[in-house]
Structure 1
Amino acid sequence: MKISGVDIRPGNIIEFEGGLWRAVKIQHTQPGKGGAYMQVEMKNLIDGRKTNNRFRSDERVERVRLDTKDFQFLFRDGDQLTFMDKETYEQITLSTDMLGDEVAFLQDGMDVILELHEEKPISVQLPDTIEATIVEADAVVKGQTASSSYKPAVLDNGVRVMVPPHIASGTRIVVDVYAREYVKRAD
Structure 2
Amino acid sequence: MPYAHPNDPEQLRTWLLGAARKDAQAFQALYLATSPRLFGFALRILPRHELAEEALQDAFVAIWHAAGRYEASGAAPMSWMTTVVRDKAFDILRRLDARPDVDVAQFEADILNGLEDKALDPALAARTSGEARTLAFCLATLEKTQRQAIALAYFHDISHAEVARQLALPIGTTRTWIRRGLATLKTCLAREAA
The answer to whether TM tops 0.5 is no
Give TM-score scaled by structure 1 length.
Answer: 0.25
Greater share of strand residues, 1 or 2?
1
- Structure with max Cα Rg: 2
Greater share of helix residues, 1 or 2?
2
